[in-house]
C-alpha cells in the first residue's frame, strides 16, 4: 500500500514509520507544522510539533530512506483546535485539545489530503490496535501495553477513518522496546522525552495563557444554595474538582474543605461545595460518534465501560442513546467529571464510541 506516515519527531512515530517501510509499504513521511511562530522550540519535554521536532523527523526519514515533507496545517490547527479550546473555556467547559487534534487534524484534515493525493492509509505512532471482525468491519481496540494504551484519544475516529488508519505499535509490549528498537536503528530520538502538556502552551501556564486569550473578569464564588462565599479573578482559571487557590472568605458551616463543582460563564460565577457532590451518577452528550460499527439497537441500554480521562481506569456502566444524547450511567459514581471532557465507551478492549460531555447529574442532590 501507499501510506503516509505522520512523523511528529518523537520516537513512537519514527518507529511506526520504519515498521511500515519494513512491512513493504510505499511510505512517505510528513511532519505537520502547527504553528507559524518562528523559534517555537521545545522547553524540556513540553510541547510537540515544533521546529526542533521537524528537524528530528527529517533526520529519521533520511535514515529510513523515505521521502519527507512538511505540511503547513497551522491555519486549520488554530481554527479547529486552539479557537475551539478558547470557546470551550468561555462556555465553562473543560476541553481536551489532543482529542480535537486527533479528530480534526490528524484523522480529518491529514487523512482527507492523503486520500486526495492517492494514499491508501495514514500511519501514526499511537499505541492502539485495529481488529477486523468476521464480517470485515474494522474495530478500534486497546493496545497490548495497557500502560501506554492511547485508544482513549482515538475514540473520536469513525468507521470510515478506521478503514484508512494504521497503528504499527499496537501489539508492542512496552515503550522500552520501542526505544530499544529506535536505538538499534540509529535514531537520535531513541531517548527523546515524551511530550506532555498542551502543545500550543509550551511553558505549561494554561491559566496565564487563558487570561491573555479569554480575558479576566472578577465574579462571585457561590455555594450550592447560591450564597456568595468568595470572589474569583476569572472563572476560566477554575476547573471542576479544584480545591486549592479558591480564596474563600466564608467558611463552610461544617468546616470541611470545598471544591469547584461547576463553572457558569453566563453569570460569571464559580460554584463550590463538598467533595461528595463531585460524585457523578450520570453523564450525557449529544456530540457522540461510533468508532466502527454502531450498536444494532443503540436506543436499548447496553453494558459497557466508560473512561473519562486518557489515563483513568475504566468504570463499569450502562449506556443508551436517549433523546439525541448518549446517556451513560456508571455502576458506581465517578468523581470530578466536567462538561467538555470526553467520555469514551468500551466493550471489553474495543472502543465502541465517544461523546463530549454536555451535562452531568450529581449523585448528591442539593440539600442532601
Q: Is residue 55 domain-shared with residue 173, that is, in the same domain?
A: yes
CATH of the domain at 357: 2.40.30.10
pLDDT at position 49 is: 63
Q: Give the separation between CA 147 and CA 143, rounded to whole angstroms.
A: 9
Which residue out of 48, 49, 98, 101 is catalytically annotated? 101
**Is 367 within the bounds of a domain?**
no
In the block, which residue shows the cell 489532543? 98
First-to-last C-alpha distance (Å) of the chain: 61
Q: Give the separation between CA 35 and CA 86, rounded to whole angstroms.
A: 16
**Is 174 within the bounds of a domain?**
yes
Q: Are 15 and 29 in contact (CB under 8 A)?
A: no
Q: Is residue 24 domain-shared with residue 97, that is, in the same domain?
A: yes
pLDDT at position 147 is: 77
**Is 131 within the bounds of a domain?**
no
Which domain does 92 fall in, by range? 2-125+168-191
CATH of the domain at 268: 2.30.30
Q: Give the separation between CA 47 and CA 63, rounded to whole angstroms.
A: 24
Q: Is residue 262 domain-shared with residue 340, that is, in the same domain?
A: no
Last residue of a domain, one of 273, 289, 307: 273
Q: Is residue 232 domain-shared with residue 343, that is, in the same domain?
A: no
**Is 64 within the bounds of a domain?**
yes
**Is 71 within the bounds of a domain?**
yes
Sequential pLDDT tens for the chain (368 residues): 999 999 999 999 999 999 999 999 999 999 998 876 544 444 444 446 677 888 999 999 999 999 999 999 889 999 999 999 988 888 878 888 888 888 889 888 899 999 999 999 999 999 999 999 888 899 999 998 877 899 999 999 999 999 999 999 999 988 999 999 999 999 999 998 877 667 788 777 787 888 788 777 889 999 999 999 999 988 877 888 999 889 899 989 888 999 999 888 778 899 999 999 999 999 999 999 999 999 999 999 999 999 999 888 999 999 999 999 999 999 999 998 989 999 999 999 999 999 999 999 988 876 54
Q: Are 317 and 307 in contact (CB under 8 A)?
A: no
Which residues contact residue 245 at a Cβ distance below 8 angstroms, ignoring those fewer than 6 apart? none
**Is 356 within the bounds of a domain?**
yes
Active site residue 101: yes
Q: Is residue 6 domain-shared with residue 117, that is, in the same domain?
A: yes
| Bridge partner list, 318 | 303, 329
Q: Is residue 87 domain-shared with residue 223, that is, in the same domain?
A: no
Q: Is residue 328 domain-shared with residue 302, that is, in the same domain?
A: yes
CATH of the domain at 44: 3.40.50.620
pLDDT at position 40 is: 46
Q: Is residue 235 domain-shared with residue 293, that is, in the same domain?
A: no
Cell of 313: 481506569
pLDDT at position 146 is: 76
Cell of 178: 520501542
Q: Are 358 and 308 in contact (CB under 8 A)?
A: no
Q: Is residue 70 domain-shared with residue 94, that is, in the same domain?
A: yes
Pairing mode, strands 68-72 and 26-33: parallel
CA nearest to 169, candidates 151, 195, 185? 151
Q: Are 61 and 27 in contact (CB under 8 A)?
A: no
Cell of 252: 463552610
Q: Is residue 185 domain-shared with residue 75, that is, in the same domain?
A: yes
Domains of the chain: total = 3
Q: Give the separation between CA 358 and CA 325, rounded to whole angstroms.
A: 9
Most distant CA atoms of the chain, gap in Å: 69
The verdict on pTM exceeding 0.75 is yes
Cell of 27: 511510505
**Is 133 within the bounds of a domain?**
no
CA nearest to 156, candidates 103, 88, 107? 103
Which residue out of 48, 49, 98, 199 is catalytically annotated? 199
**Is 55 within the bounds of a domain?**
yes
Q: Please name the helix (run of DSSP H) or strand (run of DSSP E) that holds residue 140, with its range, or none.
A: strand 138-142
Q: Is residue 181 domain-shared with residue 80, that is, in the same domain?
A: yes
Q: Is residue 19 domain-shared with residue 60, that is, in the same domain?
A: yes
* DSSP assignment string, 78-109: IIIIIHHHHHHHHTT----HHHHIIIIIIIII
Last residue of a domain, one of 273, 289, 309: 273
Amino acid at each position: 500500500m501507499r501510506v503516509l506516515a505522520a512523523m511528529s519527531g518523537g520516537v513512537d512515530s519514527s518507529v511506526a514509520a520504519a515498521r511500515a517501510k519494513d512491512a513493504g509499504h510505499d511510505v512517505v513521511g510528513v511532519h505537520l507544522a502547527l504553528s507559524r511562530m518562528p523559534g517555537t522550540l521545545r522547553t524540556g519535554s513540553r510541547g510537540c510539533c515544533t521546529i526542533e521536532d521537524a528537524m528530528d523527523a527529517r533526520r529519521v526519514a533520511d535514515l529510513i530512506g523515505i521521502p519527507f515533507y512538511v505540511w503547513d496545517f497551522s491555519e486549520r490547527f488554530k481554527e479547529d483546535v486552539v479557537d475551539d479550546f478558547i470557546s470551550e473555556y468561555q462556555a465553562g467547559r473543560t476541553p481536551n485539545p489532543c482529542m480535537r487534534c486527533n479528530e480534526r487534524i490528524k484523522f480529518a484534515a491529514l487523512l482527507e489530503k492523503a486520500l486526495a493525493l492517492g494514499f491508501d492509509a495514514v500511519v501514526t505512532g499511537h499505541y492502539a490496535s485495529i481488529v477486523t471482525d468476521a464480517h470485515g468491519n474494522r474495530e478500534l481496540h486497546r493496545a497490548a501495553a495497557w500502560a501506554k494504551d492511547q485508544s482513549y484519544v482515538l475514540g473520536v475516529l469513525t468507521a470510515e477513518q478506521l478503514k484508512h488508519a494504521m497503528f504499527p505499535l499496537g501489539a508492542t509490549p512496552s515503550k522500552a522496546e520501542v526505544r530499544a528498537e529506535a536505538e538499534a536503528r540509529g535514531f537520535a530520538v531513541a531517548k527523546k522525552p515524551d511530550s506532555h502538556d498542551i502543545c500550543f502552551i509550551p511553558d505549561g501556564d494554561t491559566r496565564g495563557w487563558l487570561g491573555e486569550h479569554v480575558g479576566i473578569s472578577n465574579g462571585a464564588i457561590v455555594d450550592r444554595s447560591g450564597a456568595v462565599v468568595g470572589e474569583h479573578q476569572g472563572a476560566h482559571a477554575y476547573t471542576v474538582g479544584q480545591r486549592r487557590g479558591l480564596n474563600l472568605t466564608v467558611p463552610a458551616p461544617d468546616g470541611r474543605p470545598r471544591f469547584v463543582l461547576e463553572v457558569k460563564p453566563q453569570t460569571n460565577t464559580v460554584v463550590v461545595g463538598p467533595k461528595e457532590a463531585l460524585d457523578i451518577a450520570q453523564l450525557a452528550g449529544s456530540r457522540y460518534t461510533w468508532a466502527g460499527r454502531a450498536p444494532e439497537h443503540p436506543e436499548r441500554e447496553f453494558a459497557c465501560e466508560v473512561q473519562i480521562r486518557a489515563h483513568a481506569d475504566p468504570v463499569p456502566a450502562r449506556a443508551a442513546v436517549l433523546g439525541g444524547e448518549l446517556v451513560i450511567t456508571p455502576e458506581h459514581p465517578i468523581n470530578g467529571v466536567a462538561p467538555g471532557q470526553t467520555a469514551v465507551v468500551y466493550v471489553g478492549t474495543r472502543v465502541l464510541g465517544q461523546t463530549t460531555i454536555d451535562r452531568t447529574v450529581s449523585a448528591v442532590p442539593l440539600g442532601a
